[in-house]
A and B are shown apart, each in its own frame.
Chain A
Amino acid sequence: MAVSAINASHEAVHARYEAVDSLYRETRDIRLLGFVLFLCSDVVLFSMFIFAYLYLRNSVPNWPPITKGGVQLPRFDVAFACINSCVLFGSGATMHFAMESWKHLNKAAFNLWMIATIALGIGFLSGQAYEYQHVPVTWTGSTMGASFFTLTGMHGFHVFIGVIYLITLYIQANRGVYTGSKYFGLTAGTLYWHFVDVIWVALFYLFYLM
């Protein structure tokens, strides 16, 4: 796509975005700031658990650790995690397409991308459930298992809440709650979904690649 066409498209979206009454604009900006601060607080929450994991990891000479029975725990399955990661990252891309479709007043494409996003989110959760059944550690057996289940479980809970959030947004959008210029809920949903994707980047690196 030519740069001029992209700029013209952005300008049309921006013009619609600004074509709202001053009260809505003011509250939208405040709500947006509040939502970004909420995401920052979630970053702090995950950071605490991640630092605890790194502390535990560095407090033993070997990683994966050796159990009390003298058994060296294996590494997690990287190959399956790679596929599951792509499913989640792909859902981030489809969510972005959904948001762009809404901004460009293409409701049919919006519905399609939203359904794809929800399906991929459920796919990721299913993959995680499958992995929980096959992972070579338990919650109580080692610090590795405890850290893994705590962090990935917390992230999975966020994804689960995100899927419910997306379904709610989908229903609301089709009931006329949002318009071409007033769609803060969709913006917040997109940011939240991208956020859970990005948290997974950190967890994927820490548990499978590091």
Chain B
Amino acid sequence: MASNIEKGIAFVLAIVVGGTTSFQLYKDWGTSGLDNNVTKLLLGLMAFGCVLVILACFGVLGGGA
């Protein structure tokens, strides 16, 4: 039960953070320069991390634990 509540909280957080990160990535897509390009790469990977969290919340990854 407690685990499901934790997963629910994590799911909401992942949606908010993933959505925000993806939107920032979209906004910064047109920027150039080494720092901006590295930032875009890292923002994309962070959004991917949020996808992993969402999949874990549904038990698709992590053995459904």
Contacts and interface: CB of A to CB of B under 8 A. Distances in A.
Kindly name the residue among A29, A77, A90, A190 whose own CB sees the greatest number of chain B CB atoms within 10 A: A90
A32 interface: yes
B32 to A, nearest CB: 8
Interface string A189-209: 011001101101100110011
A39 to B, nearest CB: 8
Nearest to B31: A10
Contacts of B10: 79, 82-83, 85-86
The A interface is mostly helix, strand or loop, or mixed, namely: helix
Interface residues of A, number: 41
A91 to B, nearest CB: 9
Given A197-B42, A197-B46, A198-B46, A93 B24 contact: yes
Interface of B: 2-4, 6-7, 9-11, 13-14, 16-18, 20-21, 24, 27, 30-31, 34-35, 38-39, 42-43, 45-46, 48-50, 52-53, 55-57, 61-63, 65
